[in-house]
Amino acid sequence: MIIAVDGPTASGKGTIAQALAAHFGLPHLDTGLLYRAVGRQVFLDGGDPDNGGDALAATSFPDSLLLDDALRSEETGGLASRVSVHSSVRQALFERQRAFATQPGGAVLDGRDIGTVIAPDADVKLFVTASVQARGERRWKEMTGRGLDVAQADIEADIARRDARDMNREDAPLKPASDALILDTTQLGKDAAIAMAIEVVEERR
Ligand code: C5P
C-alpha cells in the first residue's frame, strides 16, 4: 500500500504521515528533508540556490546531512523552496523517492508532488491543508515554545511566500492530485486530524 500525503508548509502533513506510518506499520519518508538537504548543501558550498547548476551539484549531499538539526530551520526551509524550483534538482531526487515508494510492503511519503509525480499510482492520496492564519499560528507557537523571538505576522508572510513559490513553479507545482482527498485541518486539532486520516485510509485501501 502506497500512501501519498501532500500539502503546503505547516499544514500538519508531516505529523499525519508519521501517524499513518505508525498505525499501518509502514516506513515513512519526509521528502521535504531531501530538498532541505540540497538547500543546506548549497549554503555550505557558498553557492546560489537560484542557480540551477549550483543547486544540482548540491544534490550529491552526504547522507549524514539528512540527520543535521540545521535542516529543520526556517532558513533552510526557504532555501529548500528555492532549490526545488529547478527541474534538474527534482529529477535528481526522483529515483530515490520512487524507490522508497515502491518498496515491497508499501510506504508513506509526504511532500508536495507525491500524488501527482512521485507516486501517481498511490493507493491513497491525501492533500492536507489549512488557512495561512492557522498554519502561521501553529508555527509561531512551536517556535516561541522553543524560545525563539518571532512575530506571527512575519511567519504568516513567509508561509504565504513559500506557498506562492511552491504553487506557481512550472515543474511539479503544489496542487492536489485529481483523485486526492482534501483534509482541511484549519478547525481540526491534531488528534482529530489523525483520526480522520486513518479513517480515510481504512476506507480507501
Ligand atoms: O515540507 P518541507 O517544508 O520540509 O519542504 C521544504 C520545501 O521543499 C518546500 O517548500 C518545497 O518547496 C520543497 N519540496 C518540494 N517537493 C517535495 C517536498 C518538498 O518541492 N516533495
What pLDDT does residue 97 have? 98
The reply to whether 77 sits in an annotated binding site is no
3-state secondary structure at position 109: strand
What pLDDT does residue 95 have? 98
Report whether pLDDT(15) > 90. Answer: yes
Whole-number Cα distances in Å, 66 to 11, 30, 40, 63, 76: 22, 11, 10, 6, 12
Q: What is the CATH number of domain 1-27+106-205?
A: 3.40.50.300
ipTM of the complex, rounded to two decimals: 0.98
111 in ligand 1 pocket by Cβ < 6 Å? yes
135 in ligand 1 pocket by Cβ < 6 Å? no
The number of angstroms, rounded, from the C-alpha of 132 to the middle of its chain's C-alpha atoms is: 16
pLDDT in tens, 125-177: 999 999 999 999 999 999 999 999 999 999 999 999 999 999 999 999 999 99
User: What residues have CB less than 8 Å from 135, skipping those under 6 apart?
Assistant: 8, 9, 10, 11, 156, 159
Please name the residue whose Cα sits nearest to atom 5 of ligand 1.
Answer: 32
pLDDT in tens, 52-108: 999 999 999 999 999 999 999 989 999 999 999 999 999 999 999 999 999 999 999
The reply to whether 7 sits in an annotated binding site is yes
Report whether pLDDT(205) > 90. Answer: no
3-state secondary structure at position 150: coil
Residues forming beta bridges with residue 142, ordered by sequence position = none
Please name the residue whose Cα sits nearest to atom 1 of ligand 1.
Answer: 32
The reply to whether 12 sits in an annotated binding site is yes
Measured in Å, residue 162 CA sits from the centre of ligand 1 at 9
Which three cell numbers, joined as nine digits, stand for 200?
A: 480515510
User: Model pTM?
Assistant: 0.95
The reply to whether 173 sits in an annotated binding site is no
User: For the chain, which residues make up each domain, given as ranges?
Assistant: 1-27+106-205, 31-102
Residue type, 162: R
Summary mean pLDDT of the chain: 96
